[in-house]
Structure 1
Amino acid sequence: MKTEETIYLALENLRTNTQIQGKWEHNAKGNGCHGKLKLNIADEVVLNNVELKDELRNQQLQKVIEDNIANPPIMVVANRIFPKIKEQLRMNNIAYLEANGNIYLKNKGITLWIDTNAIINPTKKTETRAFTKTGLKVVFQFLMDETWLNKPYRQIAEHTGTGIGNITNITNGLKHDGFLLNLNKYENLLQNKKGLFEKWVEVYEEKLKPTIKIGTFRFLNQGDFVNWRQINLQEEKTYWGAEPAADILTNYLRPQELTIYTTETRNELIKNYKLIPDETGNVKAYYKFWNDNDNHKQIVPPLLIYADLINNNDRRCLETAKKIYDAYLQNKL
């Protein structure tokens, strides 16, 4: 659904459900917000600067929060906003309106919160193999090192632990989605690399990460959590991810949860690090799904650190994710 269509549908559904009238004014200059929305609520006119989104993603959330500080009050108007992101918007007092008429707004002494309308499902797009569980592993390799795009399919398959037939399907999927350009018979190039990166971050959380989880644990000795930097991880087998990895890179984030990616088995982890299985624990372990480690000895690649942080929806993690993006990813995309 086009974003302009979204706002008119949202206003129509809002009026039908609540009798609230709204007027949309598009920003023709193309600078700043997309436009302004006037809502007539209980004899008050509430004006918001609008950011139009088809779908608000985790990695866009921090920018919206910053925009609301710089140019308040912001209202996000989107086809759909996921519950965790809605919660973050409410925590930061950012108004939102969905295509189905669901709304949150707190302004001029007015509080309006409706979250009971059914989701409007857009026409489902045909999914390519690029963003399947297997495809995500291969795309991760391409994002880390684009030269792999031009290596023999057999070599890519061996390096990523993928069947050679899948490589053809994955590259064809990337072409179909507009992320891969054939320069000539022997040379390929990623295009819209930032868009591909954002898509990977979003789909990784949903499709790949749940399948590689080993378990949730706590330390036998809780002092090990506080002194996690003193833990000797098995070299070339186990790596810090998410919050501890971010702290190593930025010295900015004090971890509230420890994440590791590993080729060690569950029993080896329990034995080597004195872990106790505990679903409420603060140590999470995942199988390592890539081969290279981007020259980082202790930690997973910055791309994966960023993905885990941005999908956390925690303010501290979002702030740190931005620092990592600016320092380690921005110039590569």
Structure 2
Amino acid sequence: MSTRTRKTALAMNVLALLPAHIKADFVQNECVNGENFTDGEVCLTVSGDEYPFYVAVKNIHRKESLSSLFADAAPNTLLICNRLTPYLADICMENRINFIDSAGNVRINNAALHIWIESQQTSQSKNKLNLANKSNKLGEGAAKLLFVLLSKPDVLNLSYREIAEYANISLGMVSKGLGIFESESLISLGDTRRILDTERMLSLWVESYRLSIRPKLGGIRLQFEREWQDIPMEENDFWGGEAAAEKLTQYLHPQELQLFTRQPLQKKLAQLKCRPNPEGLLWLVPAFWGAKLAWSETSQALLAVAELEASKDSRNIEVARMIHEQYL
């Protein structure tokens, strides 16, 4: 799909979320020159009055993505974008950037038109997640199953024995876990098995990793004082946490390192030539998923987001949300 087509699709999907009393007519520019607010024009009609805007259609994942718009922002310009975090929405307001995002949030403020719409989508998702956690706190096996289904949704249509091999869990745990997910309306196990609510499953994954998987990872802490990129990586070694986030975003300089491996820990330890240290910055841990699971950017993103959120560090959490929006 071309960039122009993607922008048109994003703009139309976002504008479709506007309340019924606001009519939006969007026209994309035939030739986009790369400058700000030149992707098209939109006319908002409210109570019979028309308000034209020059439009920038853009995916925003961090403050730097917005900074290029600051100089050209004006009362008659409008950003149409993916869902903004509250932090990024506030930056828009501080720099007089009108916006409509894909969660239905709207903040427009010019001399003639003032619209402020706060989407209920986030709070509703949290309520659903709390309900799921309250009724069925996921154990380690169900959390592993959740990781595999999010990494490779097609696994859901395999036999229970194959699913067990992918997730590294027992056959009984496959049946129990799928039953939990179906009871929470996360998946359908009808004639055609399918995932129904990926967003809520992602939220549940973050929580279940922190509560059920992370405390049981085991592994060993190592003293490591070199550059993390110098660590010898084998085919079955996988980064988690901050290093995984850096590979995906090039935005976070890793301090705490988490390395999953399929090799015996003593063998990997000898390869790394690091000495154990309970306060060490390199955490070497056994991979908890099955060997049949083919690694992907989605798998990397799931491990990064879960560990970053578990750290409770505000900067890590901001990067976790960037990864969520870009890759999940």
Q: TM-score, normalised by structure 2?
A: 0.57
Letter in 2 for 1:279: P
CA RMSD of aligned residues (A): 3.0
Asked if structure 2 preserves the Cα contact closer than 8 Å seen for 1:245 and 1:300, the reply is no
Partner of 1:201: 206
Q: 1:174 aligns with which of 169, 181, 186?
A: 181
Letter in 2 for 1:231: I
Partner of 2:16: none
Per-residue CA deviations over 1:129-185 (Å, capped at 9, x if unaligned) read xx210111111111111111111111112232222122111111111122112342x
Asked if structure 2 preserves the Cα contact closer than 8 Å seen for 1:241 and 1:300, the reply is no
- Higher mean displacement: 148-157 or 299-308: 299-308
Per-residue CA deviations over 1:77-121 (Å, capped at 9, x if unaligned) read xxxxxxxxxxxxxxxxxxxxxxxxxxxxxxxxxxxxxxxxxxxxx
Q: TM-score, normalised by structure 1?
A: 0.57
Q: Map of 1:215-294 to 2, 5 A cutoff?
A: 215-219=220-224, 222=225, 224=226, 227-236=227-236, 238-290=237-289, 291=291, 292-294=293-295
1:127 paired with 2:132, answer no
> Equivalents in 1 of 2:199, 2:265: separation in Å?
35
> Equivalents in 1 of 2:167, 2:314: separation in Å?
34
Q: Map of 1:1-333 to 2, 5 A cutoff?
A: 63-66=85-88, 125-127=134-136, 131-184=138-191, 187-219=192-224, 222=225, 224=226, 227-236=227-236, 238-290=237-289, 291=291, 292-295=293-296, 301-329=300-328
> Equivalents in 1 of 2:200, 2:295: separation in Å?
21
More strand by share: 1
Asked if structure 2 preserves the Cα contact closer than 8 Å seen for 1:261 and 1:300, the reply is no
> Equivalents in 2 of 1:282, 1:125: separation in Å?
34
Letter in 2 for 1:212: L
> Equivalents in 1 of 2:220, 2:86: separation in Å?
33
Residues 1:255 and 1:178: Cα distance change in structure 2 (over 3 Å): same
Count of aligned residue pairs for this structure pair: 211
Equivalent position SS for 1:149 = helix
> Equivalents in 2 of 1:287, 1:64: separation in Å?
36
User: Hey, which bits of structure 1, 4+ residues long, moved more than 4 A?
Assistant: 64-72
Per-residue CA deviations over 1:197-254 (Å, capped at 9, x if unaligned) read 10111111111111112021112xx2x2xx2212221222x22211112112211111
Residues 1:264 and 1:300: Cα distance change in structure 2 (over 3 Å): farther
> Equivalents in 2 of 1:182, 1:263: separation in Å?
32
Letter in 1 for 2:281: N
Letter in 1 for 2:231: I
Per-residue CA deviations over 1:28-70 (Å, capped at 9, x if unaligned) read x9xxxxxxxxxxxxxxxxxxxxxxxxxxxxxxxx945556667
